[in-house]
Amino acid sequence: MELNSVDVGNIRKIKKVAVLGCGAIGSRIARSIKNELQPVCSLSGLYDIDTSKSAQLEQSISQDNLVKESFPALLQDCDILVEAINSDTRNFIQQALESRKNVLTMSVGKLLNAEDLFALSLKNGCAILIPSGAVAGIDAVKSASLAPIKKITLTTRKPVSGFSQNRYIEDQGINLGAITGETCIFEGSVDDAVRLFPRNINVAATLALASHAKSKIVIRILTSPEYTINSHEIDIQGDFGHMVSRTENVICPDNPKTSYLAVLSAIQTLKEFCSGVRIGT
Site for ligand NAD in 173-212 (CB under 6 A): 202
Q: What is the number of helices (H) and of strands (E) in the chain?
A: 11, 12
Least distance from ligand NAD to the Cβ atom of residue 48, Å: 4
Does 79 engage in binding with ligand NAD (CB under 6 A)? no
> Is 232 designated active site?
yes
Q: Which of 110, 157, 216, 232 is catalytic?
A: 232
Residues 157, 184: Cα–Cα separation, whole Å: 9
Select 49 or 147, whichever has its Cβ closest to ligand NAD: 49
Point out which span in 11-19, 103-111, 165-173, 233-241 binds ligand NAD (CB under 6 A).
103-111
Give the β-pairing of 102-105 and 80-83.
parallel
Q: Which residue is nearest to ligand NAD (CB)?
A: 23
Return phi, psi of residue 244, to 5°.
-125, 130
Q: Under DSSP, is residue 45 helix (H, G, I), strand (E, B) or coil?
A: strand
Does 128 engage in binding with ligand NAD (CB under 6 A)? no
Point out which span in 137-145, 209-217, 236-244, 255-263 binds ligand NAD (CB under 6 A).
255-263
Return phi, psi of residue 186, to 5°.
-155, 140
- Edge-to-edge order in the sheet of strand 128-129: 41-47, 15-20, 80-83, 102-105, 128-129
- Bridge partners (DSSP) listed for residue 217: 152
Please select the residue that binds ligand NAD; options are 40, 108, 138, 217, rule is CB under 6 A: 108
**Residue numbers at the binding site for ligand NAD (CB under 6 A):** 20-26, 47-50, 53, 84-87, 106-108, 131, 133-134, 202, 255, 258, 262
Please list the active-site residues: 232
